[in-house]
Amino acid sequence: MILDNKLLILIVEDEDTINNFIASMLSSNDYQYVKARSGAEALAMAASEVPDLILLDMGLPDIDGSEVIQKLRSWSSVPIIVVSARGHEQEKVKALDLGADDYVTKPFGTHELLARIRTALRHSNNRPANSEEIKQLNFGQLHIDLERRLVTLAGSDVHFTPIEYKILVLLARNAGKVLTHDFIIKQVWGPYTNENQALRVNMANIRRKIEKNHAEPKYIRTEVGVGYRMVEN
């Protein structure tokens, strides 16, 4: 049992090079780590070591990464960040829909990974104090008053349609996290609908209302092929 108050991160990765580099990066940033080289090992260690966060590579030698997520989610709500290659967008979407908290695309920089880890940890800490009690959300010049359903940008009111507002709030409540297209559609329009195009159009309209140049958005970023992410402060 590690008695330190440093946070413990479980690295699930079968490639030693990557494993080593992540490990050294984590320890130099004041995290503790344990390593697992297979899915089975990962599941066992998640139970025995109770990590604060799991970094999970999707391509494991024994079981599929998504299966690991499924099994973990059956008993634990530990934040999971998925590591997956570019081009495997469907894999990321699946992982996110199964309950992974975030993803990083291989190859990734250390800054990027550390930022994701911080975000994920913060979200898991905030969880009990979540949802209903939050009355206001702020992102730079963008203020969302959840009680009065009012959005202001640099002090002036911005008018949204109900759907646009729903989408904006959904993203804002999960700021820093990627929400998949499917997740947003289900939350806004309900299940059994296919409003892919409507989501794109609504998002374009939201951006035209809150972004200075909608061609280079500052508040809501697109994760191509996966979904959207509200940029945290």
Binds another protein by CB under 8 A, chosen from 54, 203, 206, 230:
203
Which of 107, 128, 190, 191 touches another protein (CB under 8 A)?
A: 107
Q: Which two tokens stand for residue 198?
A: 């409507």
Among 76, 118, 146, 225, binds another protein (CB under 8 A): 225
Q: How far is the CB of 112 from another protein (least distance, A)?
A: 9
Phi-psi region of 179 (alpha: psi -120 to 50; beta: other; left: phi over 0): beta
The pair of three-digit structure tokens given for residue 5, joined into one six-digit string: 């108050």
Euclidean distance between the first and the last CA atom of the chain, given in angstroms as a whole number: 36
**CA distance linking residue 165 with residue 179, whole number of Å:** 16
Which of 5, 156, 197, 233 touches another protein (CB under 8 A)? 197
Of the pair 156, 197, the CB lying nearest another protein is at 197
Residue 215, phi then psi, degrees to nearest 5: -80, -20
Residue closer to another protein, measured from CB, 64 or 195: 195
Q: Choose which of 13, 89, 91, 101 interacts with another protein (CB under 8 A).
A: 89
| CB closer to another protein out of 29 and 196 | 196
Among 1, 3, 129, 215, binds another protein (CB under 8 A): 215
Minimum CB distance to another protein smaller for 6 or for 183: 183
Shortest Å distance, C-beta 128 to another protein:
34
Classify burial at 59, counting beta carbons within 10 Å of its beta carbon; exposed 0-12, middle 13-18, buried 19 or more. Answer: middle
Q: Give the contacts of 46 (CB within 8 A, at least 6 positions apart).
A: 10, 54, 72, 76, 78
- The DSSP output letter for 204 is H
Q: Which stretch binds another protein (CB under 8 A): 22-30, 69-77, 159-167, 196-204?
A: 196-204
Q: Write down the least CB distance from residue 214 to another protein, Å.
A: 6
Long-range contacts of 89-93 (CB under 8 A, 24+ apart): 89/224, 89/225, 89/226, 90/225, 91/58, 91/65, 91/66, 92/225, 92/226, 93/180, 93/181, 93/182, 93/225, 93/226, 93/227
Decide: is 214 part of the binding site for another protein (CB under 8 A). yes
Residues that bind another protein (CB under 8 A): 86-87, 89, 107, 196-197, 200-201, 203-205, 207-208, 213-217, 221-225
